[in-house]
A and B are shown apart, each in its own frame.
Chain A
Amino acid sequence: MARGISLLYSDFCVLEPDEFADFHIALQTPAGLRRWVRPQVIFYLDGFAPFKPLPADQGYPMFEWGLNWCIAAHAHNYLVIHAAVVERFGRAAILPAPPGSGKSTLCAGLISRGWRLLSDELMLLDLRSGKIQPLARPVNLKNASIDIIREFHSGAVMTDPVRDTAKGTVALMRPPADSVARTAEPALPGWIIFPRYVAGAPAVLEPNSKAQTFMRVVEQAFNYDVLGARGFEAAAGLIDRCACFEFSYGNLDEAIATFASLASD
Chain B
Amino acid sequence: MNTKWRTQLKRDRVHREWDGEAVVYDPLSGSTHYLDSISVAVLDRLRAEPASAEEVTRALCTEFDADSEIDVLAAVRETLANLRQMDLIRPADD
Q: Do A and B come from one complex?
A: yes
Interface residues of A (CB under 8 A from B): 209-212, 214-215, 218, 224-225, 228-229, 232-233, 236, 239-240
Q: Contacts of B21 on A, CB cut-off 8 Å?
A: 209-212
Q: Is chain B's interface secondary structure helix, strand, loop, or mixed overall?
A: strand
Q: Is the pair B23, A215 in contact by a Cβ cutoff of 8 Å?
A: yes
Q: Contacts of B16 on A, CB cut-off 8 Å?
A: 211, 214, 236, 239-240
Interface residues of B (CB under 8 A from A): 12, 14, 16-19, 21-23, 25, 27, 30, 32, 34-35
Q: Contacts of A229 on B, CB cut-off 8 Å?
A: 12, 14, 25, 27
CA distance A6 to B23 in the complex (A): 46
Q: How far is the CB of A229 from chain B (nearest CB, A)?
A: 5
- Name the residue on A nearest B12 (C-beta): A229
Q: Contacts of A210 on B, CB cut-off 8 Å?
A: 18-19, 21
Q: How far is the CB of B70 from chain A (nearest CB, A)?
A: 27
CA distance A224 to B27 in the complex (A): 12
CA distance A233 to B25 in the complex (A): 9
For B19, give its contact among A209, A224, A236, A240 (CB under 8 Å).
A209
**Given A211-B23, A212-B21, A214-B23, A232–B34 Cβ distance below 8 Å?**
no
CB within 8 Å: A-B pair count: 44
- Greatest chain A CB density within 10 A among B22, B23, B34 is at B23
- 4 closest A-B pairs by beta carbon, nearest first, are A211-B21, A210-B18, A232-B25, A236-B16
Q: Is the pair B32, A218 in contact by a Cβ cutoff of 8 Å?
A: yes
CA distance A228 to B14 in the complex (A): 11
Q: Contacts of A212 on B, CB cut-off 8 Å?
A: 21, 34
Q: Is the pair A225, B18 in contact by a Cβ cutoff of 8 Å?
A: no
In the complex, 9 of the A-B residue pairs with CB atoms within 8 angstroms, ordered by the A residue number, are A209-B19, A210-B19, A211-B19, A212-B34, A214-B16, A215-B32, A232-B23, A236-B16, A239-B18
**Given A233-B14, A236-B16, A239-B16, A225–B30 Cβ distance below 8 Å?**
yes
CA distance A239 to B15 in the complex (A): 13
Q: Is the pair A215, B25 in contact by a Cβ cutoff of 8 Å?
A: no
Q: Contacts of A236 on B, CB cut-off 8 Å?
A: 16, 23
Q: Is the pair B18, A215 in contact by a Cβ cutoff of 8 Å?
A: no
For A211, give its contact among B14, B27, B35 (CB under 8 Å).
B35
CA distance A210 to B34 in the complex (A): 11
CA distance A177 to B25 in the complex (A): 41
CA distance A186 to B6 in the complex (A): 45
Q: Is the pair A211, B18 in contact by a Cβ cutoff of 8 Å?
A: yes
Q: Contacts of B35 on A, CB cut-off 8 Å?
A: 211
CA distance A236 to B32 in the complex (A): 12
Q: How far is the CB of A127 from chain B (nearest CB, A)?
A: 15
Q: Contacts of B22 on A, CB cut-off 8 Å?
A: 211
Q: Is the pair A232, B19 in contact by a Cβ cutoff of 8 Å?
A: no
- List 6 extra interface pairs beyond A211-B16, A211-B35, A240-B16, CB under 8 A: A210-B21, A211-B17, A212-B34, A214-B23, A228-B30, A229-B27
CA distance A210 to B12 in the complex (A): 23
Q: Contacts of B34 on A, CB cut-off 8 Å?
A: 211-212, 214-215
Q: How far is the CB of A80 from chain B (nearest CB, A)?
A: 16
CA distance A193 to B27 in the complex (A): 28
Q: Contacts of B27 on A, CB cut-off 8 Å?
A: 228-229
CA distance A229 to B14 in the complex (A): 8
